[in-house]
Amino acid sequence: MSKTIAINAGSSSLKWKLFEMPEETVLASGIVERIGLNDSIFTIKYGEGQKYKEVLDINDHEVAVEMLLKQLTELNIIEDFDEITGVGHRVVAGGEIFQDSARVTDEVIDQIEELSEFAPLHNPANATGIRAFRKILPDITSVAVFDTSFHQTMPKVNYMYSIPMEYYKKHNARKYGAHGTSHKYVAERAAEMMGKPVEDLKIITCHLGNGASITAVDGGKSVDTSMGFTPLAGVTMGTRSGDIDASLLPFLMEKEGIDNINDMIYILNNESGLKGLSGISSDMRDLEDVEHTNEDAALALRIFEDRVRKYVGSYAATMNGVDAIVFTAGIGENGVETRENVINGLTFLGAEIDTEKNDVRGDERFISTEDSKVKVLLVPTDEEVMIARDVEKLR
């Protein structure tokens, strides 16, 4: 038996699970939240209901990785680092270089960093995590698992942009998507819950967190997804604008005296979305606390819900039908009001929410009514087990 740690680094979080493989037994799990913000939350769950929690300022992902490995030994979850024989890293952007998961080498890390232009909030953090683990655990099997791999099944009609073809042929300018590992897991799990082969179903998966994306999964394959060339496209997110008219950029740059396009892109990636609309926070929980007294916070929440509904509706059209809508990730799993508001605007599809079943956080279940033609499910994502499986495949 071996121990494999699966690392899922988001733009402001580091989620992980330590597995005994190949049994896929979870030995410990945890998350570091609000990385780069004040009052970061460091949590480890282990043993039989034991929990370690600390609130402190964690400046970046490298510090988070160092804390994680240190606490695994201090809590006697492992005796020493040598017990960990494999580590799998979620990487957002693989471009057209990586069609599948890959063993980590210096060249692979360099390529991940080169692909940061596709995922400026994530690939640098992914590479930092990989380097930190390689420094402490240089001899273990290290695997990069790419979010974009699942979306390689998209037909050309859906991943191409309506720009000169030479830009694609010369520069690979196209839609790549993200969150593929999560979309794949929850679609397959939803099919299991429905008692039907995933190959027979049309499923729309809603990965809603600080980063958010919607995917049309037809017959178990991704046929379209809301994120684009980078994770900036699609629905409104925590700090990202989502879809925007490109002509607005030079207009705003002139009005605001912004000379560098990279500065404008930074604003769209880091100062927009829920944070920009509300002027308060990128965290939906903070906005929900004040939505009844702050009009901007309430508007930000309604815009988020509206953009999700629009993508779900368009993907039902893309697949010429839908059998199930699945909610997952931080907001999708815990946003009771968000799920209800989204589905209440999709009753024309035959989706009906059961308010009692929906009144739950993070509990795998059907949340639609018994007679709902389109099933609505809450499925906590488990990208980590998918990552651990790929480590095993590449040992």
Q: Is the pLDDT of residue 11 over 80?
A: no
| pLDDT one-digit tens code per residue, 110-160 | 999 998 877 777 888 888 888 888 888 888 899 999 989 999 999 999 999
Q: What's the mean pLDDT in 347-375? A: 96
Which band of pLDDT confidence, cut at 50, 70 and 90, is reported for residue 186? very high
Cβ-proximal residues to 266 (8 Å cutoff; 6+ apart), any chain: none
Q: What's the mean pLDDT in 352-363? A: 96
- Where are any strands of DSSP class E within 34-76? 40-46, 50-56
Q: Is the pLDDT of residue 31 over 70?
A: yes
Residue 180: what are its φ and ψ, rounded to 5°?
Answer: -60, -40
Which helix (H) or strand (E) segment holds residue 338: the answer is helix 336-344
Largest CA distance in the chain: 61
311 touches 235 (CB < 8 A): yes
- Greater confidence, 120 or 366? 366
Q: Which residues are marked as active site?
A: 147
> Coil, strand, or helix at residue 395?
coil
- Gyration radius from the chain CA atoms: 21
Calculate the average pLDDT of the chain: 93
Strand partners, 21: 2
Q: Is the pLDDT of residue 380 over 90?
A: yes
| Structural tokens at position 243 | 């879809």
Q: What percent of the chain has pLDDT over 70?
A: 100
| pLDDT one-digit tens code per residue, 261-305 | 999 999 999 999 999 999 999 999 999 999 999 999 999 999 999
Q: Is the pLDDT of residue 1 over 70?
A: no
Handedness of CA 286, 291, 297, 302 (dihedral sign): positive
CA atoms of 33 and 286, how far apart (whole Å): 14
Q: Is the pLDDT of residue 15 over 70?
A: yes
Which band of pLDDT confidence, cut at 50, 70 and 90, is reported for residue 193? very high
| pLDDT confidence of residue 342 | 97
The mean-pLDDT minimum among 93-97, 288-292, 325-329 falls in 93-97
